[in-house]
């Protein structure tokens, strides 16, 4: 699958329909809770379900028994679904996540279950979270009703270092996270916990790191990690993109002039360099100073996905496109992209395009060269503010 058809159609609609952001904000936010075996995500989920702020949350889990619902004062059960005393709704994944999410929404509309305004999906310990993200982005019924809020990844403060060393799944879970939760800090020495935190920061510079003791974390520290502020129903691009975190680790590339001027590709990708699995992950931000023709950007995206799609774990961007009077937000996971979201205005005076990428087995220089090649005909001095 290439990116050109869905993204091209989405941008064409976005350029002509300036209400896209508002429509996306109305979809139900979904948080994906992942983490390696024994990392404490089930304990974390159990503590979250006890919180009064979780009363209007639907939780999709693999097995009821895993989170100890007996201790959560179950009010009633309907086989695949239970309602807790605080009003929180839990259901199991029957066979397919898409079916479960669609069924949940239908029951909500019919009034057959408590109303909810957020969904939390807990994956198994060995799960790759990317297929879950694909389901949220690619299935038309799911994508029309739900939107990805963020990926929450738990990492064990005591055993996390060894798990990251031995298991590439653990590294990938941490790399794609929007929130990182270091669990069991009460059982780890300060030195051990600090080593894990430093490693996570190198793997994923932009994700806030929350330290949990006994699984206790306030929901406000984990949710609303997506593009939209739920209170204002408006996008918060600077917080969501957080390109400054990547620039601090590896300065962004400036496309001031594509008339043959040499570029510096010698800078190291940000990321830990002391561990084999970590070396496969790169996180970086690319900057483009001048407005880009849509066709040029589309050619770049097509080439990136066609050649390296499986290696692009996450891609976030704020684009200055010549054909659009407003900035456009893009978000992709491997081969798939969310529909492009037009913003009503720039978040600040910086009108450069910004592309934030998290990749595996794909270095910054390769992506940078690909972008250079497809923007080689873009004249400089087009008037973006810097």
- CATH class name, domain 237-374: alpha beta
Q: Which residues contact 96 (CB under 8 A, 6 or more apart)?
A: none
Average pLDDT over residues 104-133: 88
Beta strand ranges found along 236-327 (DSSP E): 281-288, 312-319
**φ and ψ of 347, to 5 deg:** -70, -20
In the predicted structure, residue 80 carries a pLDDT above the cut 60 = yes
When mean pLDDT is compared across 8-17, 45-54, 306-315, the lowest value belongs to 8-17
Q: What's the pTM?
A: 0.82
Sign, CA torsion 182/188/193/195: negative
Q: What is the pLDDT of residue 263?
A: 37
Q: Residue 92 in 3-state DSSP?
A: strand
Inter-residue contact 205 to 249 (CB < 8 Å): yes
DSSP labels, 35-73: E-TTSSHHHHHHHHHTSGGGTTEEEEES-GGGGTGGGG-
> Residue range 28-54: average pLDDT?
90
Q: CA-CA distances (angstroms) from residue 99 to 76, 93, 119, 306? A: 22, 8, 14, 30
Predicted confidence at residue 233, as pLDDT, reads: 65
Residue % of the chain over a pLDDT of 70:
79
**Residue 295 scores a pLDDT above 70:** yes
Residues in Cβ contact with 208 at an 8 Å cutoff, skipping those fewer than 6 apart: 179, 180, 221
Instruction: Write out 234-245 in H/E/C secondary structure.
Output: EECHHHHHCHHH
**pLDDT value at residue 5:** 43
Give CA–CA dist 233/341, Å, rounded: 14
Instruction: State the pLDDT at residue 78.
Output: 65
pLDDT band at 359 (very low <50, low <70, confident <90, very high): very high
For 172, the token pair is: 């990938």
Tell me the pLDDT band of 76, cut-offs 50, 70 and 90.
low
Cβ contacts of 326 within 8 Å, gap of 6 or more: 18, 342, 343, 344, 345
* The pLDDT value given to residue 124: 79
CATH of 27-229 among 3.40.50.12160, 3.40.50.300, 3.30.70.1880, 3.55.50.30: 3.40.50.300
Task: Give the ranges where 157-272 is alpha helix by DSSP (H).
Answer: 160-166, 168-175, 190-203, 237-241, 243-249
Per DSSP, 159 falls in state T
Pick 304 or 336 by higher pLDDT.
304
Pairwise CA distance, residues 255 & 263, whole Å: 9
d(CA 327, CA 263): 26
Domain-wise residue ranges, the chain: 27-229, 237-374
What CA–CA distance (Å, rounded) separates 139 from 142? 5
- Give the separation between CA 15 and CA 153, rounded to whole angstroms: 35
Of 2 and 292, the one with more pLDDT: 292
Contact by Cβ (8 Å): 351, 384:
yes
Residue of higher predicted confidence among 71 and 104: 104
Question: Which residue, 218, 242, 209, 225, is CA-closest to 150?
Answer: 225
């Amino acid at each position: 699958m290439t990116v050109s058809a869905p993204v091209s159609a989405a941008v064409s609609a976005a350029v002509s329909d300036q209400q896209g952001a508002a429509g996306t904000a109305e979809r139900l936010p979904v948080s994906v809770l992942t983490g390696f075996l024994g990392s404490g995500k089930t304990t974390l989920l159990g503590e979250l379900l006890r919180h009064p702020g979780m009363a209007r949350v639907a939780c999709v889990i693999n097995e009821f028994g895993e989170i100890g619902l007996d201790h959560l004062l179950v009010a009633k059960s309907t086989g695949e679904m239970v309602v807790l005393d605080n009003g929180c709704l839990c259901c199991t994944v029957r066979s397919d996540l898409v079916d479960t999410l669609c069924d949940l929404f239908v029951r909500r509309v019919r009034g057959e279950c408590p109303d909810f305004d957020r969904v939390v999906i807990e994956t198994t310990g060995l799960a790759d979270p990317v297929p879950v993200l694909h389901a949220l982005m690619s299935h038309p019924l799911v994508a029309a009703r739900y939107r990805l809020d963020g990926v929450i990844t738990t990492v064990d403060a005591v055993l996390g270092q060894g798990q990251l060393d031995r298991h590439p799944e653990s590294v990938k879970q941490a790399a794609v996270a929007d929130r990182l939760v270091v669990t069991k800090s009460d059982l780890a020495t300060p030195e051990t916990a600090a080593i894990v935190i430093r490693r996570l920061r190198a793997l994923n510079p932009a994700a806030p790191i929350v330290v949990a003791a006994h699984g206790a974390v306030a929901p406000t520290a984990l949710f609303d990690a997506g593009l939209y502020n739920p209170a204002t129903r408006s996008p918060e691009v600077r917080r969501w993109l957080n390109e400054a975190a990547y620039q601090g680790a590896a300065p962004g590339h400036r496309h001031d002039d594509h008339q043959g001027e040499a570029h510096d590709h010698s800078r190291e990708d940000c990321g830990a360099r002391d561990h084999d699995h970590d070396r496969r992950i790169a996180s970086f931000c690319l900057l483009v100073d001048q407005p880009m023709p849509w066709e040029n950007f589309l050619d770049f995206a097509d080439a990136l996905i066609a050649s390296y799609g499986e290696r692009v774990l996450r891609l976030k961007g704020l684009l200055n496109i010549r054909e659009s009077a407003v900035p456009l937000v893009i978000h992709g996971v491997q081969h798939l992209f969310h529909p492009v979201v037009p913003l009503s205005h720039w978040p600040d005076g910086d009108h450069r395009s910004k592309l934030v990428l998290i990749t595996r087995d794909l270095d910054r220089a390769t992506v940078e060269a690909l972008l250079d090649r497809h923007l080689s005909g873009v004249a400089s001095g087009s008037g973006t503010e810097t």
